[in-house]
Amino acid sequence: MTQLLLETATDVCSVAVARDGVILAEHTAKEVYQHASHLTVFIRDVMASAGVEMVELDEVVLSDGPGSFTSLRVGAATAKGLCMALPGLKLRVVPTLLSLAVMLRNAKPTLTVINSRRGEVYGQLFGARTQVQGENKKAGWEEALWSSPQNIRLTEDEWFEKLNEAAGGIGFNLSGPGQQRVQDHLPEGVILQGTGLKHCSARLLLAPASAPEGSRLVDVATYEPFYLNPPFVTVSKKKPLG
């Protein structure tokens, strides 16, 4: 199985090529919001670095959202274009917040977060990784304490209490590019542990893409990313001409 992995849900664009569960090449942008101008260039470069031809690909694996409206649209358009151009190439999508959780080994639940609008984050709470007879119990997608992503309004006074209650009262860790925003809105005296995963990346899509519980194949013609929120559109204050 040869897969092209595309992470375009947030401000950092990332592309990787994997074969049989092994990353062959990866490129992550050093600057933000380069999706429209650099995504196809990154794809060309990682394919060349991996020594893989486009006709060898079995799947395009795309980060499904939620995230930046424009960035998600760029990724979806590129992925769909590739699948339409190459007969037999399938499109698989992975929930973005899930990709930030499946590689973790924590004793507490983990809240994966991506920045949304000011004072808000997209978040999903996943169960703790526990030890069972000396072996790591599998967790992640099958142990989501919230079955779907939520829009968390950090300006609301009750947000932390609601999350802590959902986590069973034992607290929770943070993962993802929205963790600093969450930490900035914590109640006084509360300290949460960050996980170090401060950016989404294409390689994080590989594990959930290998399991039916963590991903799904979609129809190329009708697929739309999972935005969660509608696009934020501002009305121009300039007077119309004429």
pLDDT, tens digit, 9 for 90 and up, residues 85-122: 999 999 999 999 999 987 776 778 889 999 998 889 99
Helix, strand and coil content of the chain, in percent to the nearest 5, comes to 25, 25, 50
2-95+200-218 topology per CATH: Nucleotidyltransferase; domain 5 (3.30.420)
Is residue 132 pLDDT above 70, yes or no? no
Confidence at residue 137, expressed as pLDDT on a 0 to 100 scale: 43
Determine the CATH number of domain 101-184.
3.30.420
- Which percentage of the chain shows pLDDT scores above 70? 87
- Read off the pTM: 0.87
Q: What is the largest CA-CA distance in the chain?
A: 76
Residue with tokens 């950016």: 199
Is residue 232 pLDDT above 70, yes or no? no
Say if CB 140 and CB 130 are below 8 A apart: no
Q: What pLDDT band is residue 231 in, cutting at 50, 70 and 90?
A: low
Annotated domain spans of the chain: 2-95+200-218, 101-184
